[in-house]
Structure 1
Amino acid sequence: MEEHYPFTLPPLPFAYDALLPELDEKTMYFHHDKHFAAYVETLNHLLERRPVYQSWPLWKLCRDWAELPDEIRQGVRNNAGGVYNHDLYFRTLHPTPVSSPGALLLGAIERDFGGLQALKGAIKTAALGQFGSGWAWLTAESDGRLSVCKTANQDTPLPLLPLLCCDVWEHAYYLQYQNRRAEYFENWWRLVDWPQLSSVYSQVISRCPRCPHP
């Protein structure tokens, strides 16, 4: 994903059918090529006549949307968040077999949640408890402390560093699971790319970045 405008749709990091049977080909196509693409296109459209904001990185558009002019504020809030969230969502999925966290991340999970199953339970509670559209998140602070939260619509948990997100908008699962959000969550959990998350978490610990990036 580009640092700032103009943004382009990142390619899906796997084949459309690579996540079967957990997530099917039709869902991947519409979720990535239609929904994600629409957020990218709309965000660019909102910014094309606003050169003063074209240098803002994506994370700043998401975090500091309240500073934008009235005419584009809500649109950028919605669409920058849609770009940021979907970019992270697809990059943290990986075909089975199921992976596991590295030692450093696993230690933090055990410290802050009591174990991987407890973390899963916390994220599932957030995902199922989000009324309507939104996201469930695993986030980190600059000192490595982990927490779980949920956000509505396309809001992000910034300035916390998002490590993992479960998309609970209906377009993420309804073609395959209809109203069975809990079943979708269980199968989504099997696809989490723990090596990728572990690598990002190691960077958090070693660098303590001031500004969170997806």
Structure 2
Amino acid sequence: MKLTRELISRRTFLSNSSKASLAVGLVGTGVLSACSNDVKGDDKSILATSFSQTPLNYDFSALEPHIDAMTMEIHFTKHAAAYAKNLNDAIGEENVDTNKPLEDVLATISQYSTKMRNNGGGHYNHELFWQIMTPDAAERPEGDLAAAIDESFGSFDSFAEEFEKAAATRFGSGWAWLVVDSDKKLAIGSTPNQDNPLMDVSDFKGTPLLGLDVWEHAYYLNYQNRRADYISAFWNIVNWNKVAERFSASM
């Protein structure tokens, strides 16, 4: 059965998110953003994340053959769901103000527990990951994002090569990222485990536009140890419209 994204208003989010520690299944979008304080209105909600797991807006099988249905189902219903549950346990234990978005917690993650860091990062990273993939992917970005990629990396091909290198050379488990940095420039890097560039403990910082999960559970059923093949296949399912929305809001 195809899952659909529930769209809720700012008022509903504020009401629901205060109950997030008791109701992991609630669906919502954030209304504030610690990573881009000068952003206002609708753009701010694009960059914000709630504390609950959002349903996929495509079938588990929709990204095949690039990501198989079984991997998607296990990844979403087991791994990502566990991060959301454990995050909500942590916010109850540590008295987190859930009227603010998850980004606010990540920006000061050094003040929280390891449980919060691992599960807050895991939840944020996966919520972004599902959004920036689509079965109806364009081959390449267009408009301002395409121009920024050309300006920062010389060409889309050079960008893709650098991103693939960041993903392939991340030792062990982690993520590869395209971000807007503090100078409003595009940058590529990676983080270990479930860390991300929003965290004050991260060596690589910025506002994430695109993130690729290179934990083995994201690809091993289909690609086994061929991480490079999984990374290469990723370009076939990138939702460049969503990445462009995040870029515009970040700028």
Q: Which residue of 1 aligns with 2:75?
A: 31
What is the number of equivalent residue pairs in this alignment? 201
Question: How many Å apart are 1:142 and its aligned residue?
Answer: 5.4
TM-score by length of 2: 0.75
Tell me how far 1:197 sits from its aligned partner: 1.1
What whole-Å deviation, never above 9, does each CA across 1:109-157 have from its counterpart, x for those lacking one? 0110001111111111000100000000000135531000000000011
Partner of 2:101: 57
The correspondence for 1:169, drawn from 212, 215, 219, is 215
Question: Residue 9 of structure 1 contacts residue 40 of structure 1 at CA under 8 Å; is this kept in 2?
Answer: yes
* CA drift at 1:54: 4.2
Unaligned runs of 5+ in 2: 1-5, 7-12, 21-50, 199-204
Alignment of 1:150-189 (within 5 A): 150-158=190-198, 160-189=206-235
3-state secondary structure, aligned to 1:151: strand
- State the structure with bigger RCO (CA 8 A, min sep 6), 1 or 2: 1
Deviates more, 1:53-62 or 1:98-107: 53-62
CA contact 1:62–1:155 (8 Å) conserved in 2:
no
- CA drift at 1:12: 1.3
Q: How far did 1:25 drift?
A: 0.4
| CA root-mean-square deviation | 1.9
In 2, the alpha carbon distance for the partners of 1:80 and 1:40 equals 8
Matched to 1:202, the amino acid is: S
The answer to whether structure 1 residue 9 and structure 2 residue 53 are counterparts is: yes
Q: 1:40 to 1:48 in 2, by over 3 A?
A: same
**Matched residue type, 1:170:** E
Q: How far is the alpha carbon of 1:204 from its aligned partner?
A: 2.5
State the match for 1:145 in structure 2: 185
Off by >4 Å, runs of 4+ in structure 1: 1-5, 52-56
Please give the per-residue CA displacement for 1:186-208, whole angstroms capped at 9, x wherever unaligned. 11121111111112212223xxx
Alpha-carbon displacement from aligned partner over 1:84-107 (angstroms, at most 9, x marks no partner):
000011100011454321211111
User: 1:208 maps to what in 2?
Assistant: none
Unaligned runs of 5+ in 1: 206-214
Percent identity reads: 39
3-state DSSP of counterpart to 1:48: helix
- Structure having the higher helix fraction is 1
